[in-house]
Structure 1
Amino acid sequence: METETGRKPVPAGSPLERIVSGGASALALVRSMGIGRWLRMEREVLAQTVKVTGACVLGWWLAAYVLHLDLPVLVPIGVLLTVSATAYSTLVRGAQQVMAVVVGVAVATALVWLIGVNAVTLAVLVMAGLVVSRLLNLPAQNVQIPISALLVFALGSRYGFERLADVLLGAAIGIAANLLIAPPRHVDKAGKELCGLSAELGDLADDISRGLRDGWDAGMAREWLERARTLSQRLEDTEQAAEQAAESVRLSLRRSRYDRSLNQVAEAATCLDHACHQLRSLARGLVDLIAGVRGLPGERGADLPEALADELAALARVFRGFGHLQVGRGRREDLADLRAALEEGERHQKRLVTTFRQTRHAELGSLQGALLDACARIRHEFDPDSGPHTLAFPAHD
């Protein structure tokens, strides 16, 4: 069976491949959820986009028509550089931007006054800016210190003070927008990611079910295993999504009202990770079976009982139903469908037990037992009543 240490790094692919893959995943999610549910899920993203756009327009208007700055576009740039994923990180990033510009302007003004405008000054400014950025533990993408220094180098110290004013105004507007106007709550975003991954796991279970029913080979089994490994690695990112959701309510005045949702996101991520591990173990077993390793019969044992395909189809419904429950408050209909799929899977499991008992091949019997156990464990993980992750399900009064 596949173990946790058997994970392989998944190649990132070219930027174009990642764009195509992301678009395909988005379309698959829309098909799985339906337009209505998908639009409800994207409300938070749309609201944040409108808010940031409005903050940029307000910053430009203040700079151009109230303060009469020479380059009013720098203020909305300051807004974009400051606004971050959460209100808390926006505050941190705003402080970093201001500090970076202050340091860059100060260093550049001093060096230009001491050395003058020449190639040596340019080299020192860039090198010193990058070194100081690292010493101040600024994010790798934050190069405001050398950028501010170079702008002062090119346009003079007067511009440096104007840039500082622009950044201060942009940072202030960005912080105010994210703290006071619909602060981003990434609980919904984390739920969306969990829903998408759950749907992909359901697709994988469905594909394995159809393959076992219609005929499968070693190549198909290896592809199933690779897909399971890829999804397993992607599920590790959901832990970061859960952490970001917790951070997004850190400065909320009514933080306690999000406790139930935060617990659900964290527990749902753990539940999906465990279930994915079991599905990956099942795929690993099919690869071993068709390859004939460890004394297994190989292609002669590939004709598995139809009940296994039926159980995997039921598990696909379980995965999708669980994903739908992570969006918003979840619907009672989705919970009812998940329970029905669990009961259906249990009925197919009983049929499988009866069929597998007739096996006289020791190694094959051991593998069949592992397949049964993987299916049973997946159902147990998703049991909303007596499973280990009851907090992963929304509360319905």
Structure 2
Amino acid sequence: MPDVLDPVADLVKRRSDPVVVQTLRSAAAATIAYVVALKLSKEPAPLTAPLTALLVVQVTLYATLTTGIRRVNSVVVGVLIAIGFSALVGLTWWSLGLIIIAALTIGYFVRVGEFVQEVAISAMLVLGVTRVATTAWDRVLETLIGAGVGLAFNFFLAPPVWVESAGKSIEDLARRMRQLLLHIGEELGSQVPVDRAAARLHEARRLDHDIAQVDAALRQAEDSVRLNPRVKEGLLYRVVLRTGLDTLEICTVILRVMTRTLTDLAKQRTDEPLFSQDVADALKDLLTHLAAAVESFAVLVTTQVSANAEEAESRLASELAKAQASRDRVAQLLLRRVQEHPRQWQLHGALLAEIDRILDELDMEQRSKRLMEELDRSTREKRERFPFLRKLRRWARGEGRKSASAS
């Protein structure tokens, strides 16, 4: 008996998981749409309604609205094409091919997005029945029912906000960057085989590739706060997370270049340590503080509570100050060593420059400036995109009436 209940208990524990939420929401919306269609449609089994609801109900409210509009548009266009063809020709092999070409072509023109295939599918399904007109309008009705249920479902049961899951993805990326920096620091004072240095390079490349997955989670979070009645500062959430991920993305690129520099150095020093012990110890201390700064930065951009944000900001400032002090010490040691032994001096300089770039990206003043620029840009784009809403808002505040009375 406990074994039977284990999957149910696991499902309950994962109730906030996007896959579980999407499954439950889609099933509920499809069932409701089918029940409503049974009452309103003349078809004995109006499966188009639950199918439409299944496709319309997405994880976020914003995606549901945009998907629902394109879905209904694609079905209606396909039905109208089928009605037009049925008045001219019957169902033959050449008319089927012609209607598919026409449906796909018109689908691209009416901008139904990923539902362009649905235009042709709707046209073929309607054209293949005997009572074209009756079936066509029943299909339109069922589509409208399914889309309406899907939209209403997300309006009355607002989908969850995925900011927390996106934040966890960003923090996970930062933790892996931290681990890589710590591993690099531990190896600088020893003789590093080329294959091990190359393995660190491949690890950095994987981090760079994983940015795409984190970006997908962030796009879902950005959609989840758009038009969501439960979110009051959606723009701020989007800008904070997006600029934070942009910074980490730049840091992963720099980290990949850094590991490439160390790989080139390992190829030149196959029988000796990469650095002398004093330089290696200073570099290890620098990379340790740099790793802690990367993690603190991720915590700062993903923290929602102001008290925790202040703590993360203080910790980041402390780690950046320690890293900068260690960087100055490393620069002096590297300069002295290069003057004594100028072999591969360019790689030493490249390594120091790459560390400087990461410190510049994590700088708090730089981040504040970037945040303000992005907020200003987003606000400006919103005003330019919806000028009527801006005028309406000004009129509601009384600004428009004051200017009118003054004139």
Fold similarity call, TM over 0.5:
yes
Q: Which residue of 1 aligns with 2:394?
A: none
Q: Which residue of 2 aligns with 1:161?
A: 137
CA drift at 1:286: 0.9
Q: Which residue of 2 aligns with 1:151?
A: 125
Q: 1:161 to 1:239 in 2, by over 3 A?
A: same
Aligned equivalents of 2:314, 2:27: Cα separation in 1 = 41
RMSD of equivalent CA atoms: 3.7
Give the SS at the match of 2:227: coil
5+ residue gaps in structure 2?
1-12, 372-407
Q: Which residue of 1 aligns with 2:402?
A: none
- Among 308, 316, 330, which residue is 2:291 paired with? 316
The amino acid of 1:231's aligned partner reads L
Contact in 2 for aligned 1:48/1:184 (Cα 8 Å)? no
Q: Which residue of 1 aligns with 2:106?
A: 132
The amino acid of 1:164's aligned partner reads V
Contact in 2 for aligned 1:221/1:286 (Cα 8 Å)? yes
Aligned equivalents of 1:230, 1:301: Cα separation in 2 = 26
Contact in 2 for aligned 1:203/1:316 (Cα 8 Å)? yes
Aligned length: 350
1:107-126 deviations in whole A, cap 9, x for unaligned? 22332443222222222222
5+ residue gaps in structure 1?
1-37, 393-397
CA drift at 1:172: 0.8
Q: 1:263 to 1:202 in 2, by over 3 A?
A: same
Q: 2:333 matched to 1:355?
A: yes
Q: Which residue of 1 aligns with 2:323?
A: 345
Contact in 2 for aligned 1:285/1:367 (Cα 8 Å)? yes
Q: Which residue of 1 aligns with 2:154?
A: 178
TM-score by length of 1: 0.73
Equivalent residue runs for 1:271-286 within 5 Å: 271-286=247-262
Q: 1:365 to 1:76 in 2, by over 3 A?
A: same
Percent identity of equivalent pairs: 27
Whichever of the two has the greater Rg, that structure is 2
The amino acid of 2:178's aligned partner reads G
Contact in 2 for aligned 1:151/1:159 (Cα 8 Å)? no
The amino acid of 2:127's aligned partner reads F
Q: Which residue of 2 aligns with 1:81?
A: 55
1:286-315 deviations in whole A, cap 9, x for unaligned? 1221233xxxx5654624513323432333
Q: Which residue of 1 aligns with 2:37?
A: 63
Contact in 1 for aligned 2:37/2:49 (Cα 8 Å)? yes
Contact in 2 for aligned 1:356/1:368 (Cα 8 Å)? yes
1:156-190 deviations in whole A, cap 9, x for unaligned? 42433322222111111112223443245454454
Contact in 2 for aligned 1:383/1:390 (Cα 8 Å)? no
Q: 2:367 matched to 1:388?
A: yes
1:267-302 deviations in whole A, cap 9, x for unaligned? 21222123223322311211221233xxxx565462
- More relative contact order in 1 or in 2 (CA 8 Å, sep 6+)? 1
Q: Which residue of 2 aligns with 1:374?
A: 354
Deviates more, 1:181-190 or 1:162-171: 181-190
Aligned equivalents of 1:328, 1:77: Cα separation in 2 = 39
Aligned equivalents of 1:365, 1:381: Cα separation in 2 = 25
Contact in 2 for aligned 1:103/1:145 (Cα 8 Å)? yes
CA drift at 1:148: 0.9
